[in-house]
Amino acid sequence: MPSIRLTVTRLYALQDERMVASKATAKIYVGEECVATEEISGLTETPVYKYIHHAFPAGRPIRIEWDTPGFADMTAVEENTCSCCQDSPIL
C-alpha cells in the first residue's frame, strides 16, 4: 500500500509578538483525489512527521493544501517505507 509522509516543519501564530500554538487544516491529494484531511494543532519549529496510507497506484502526483490563521510550512511526499510500519518496505 503506498504511503505519504506529511511533514510539518513550522506551525505557530503570533500573539503580542510572541509565538503561540496555532491550528491548521491540511488536505493531501493524490492526483486530483483528496485522500486525507488532517487537523493539526500545536507549536513547532522542528519537523513533525505523519504517515498516511492510500490505495492509489504509486507514482501519482502528490500535493498538499493547508489553511491556518497563523504560519505553517508543510510538505507531502511519497514514501516506500513507513516508520509506523517499523520501516518495512511498503508492498
Q: Name the more confident of 13 and 54.
A: 13
User: pLDDT at position 40, please?
Assistant: 94
Q: How sure is the predictor about 88, in pLDDT bands with cuts at 50, 70 and 90?
A: very low
Q: Which residue has the cell 506529511?
A: 6
CA distance 30 to 32: 6
Length of the chain: 91
Least confident of 31-35, 38-42, 83-87: 83-87
Q: What is the mean pLDDT of residues 41-54?
A: 91
User: pLDDT at position 81, please?
Assistant: 63
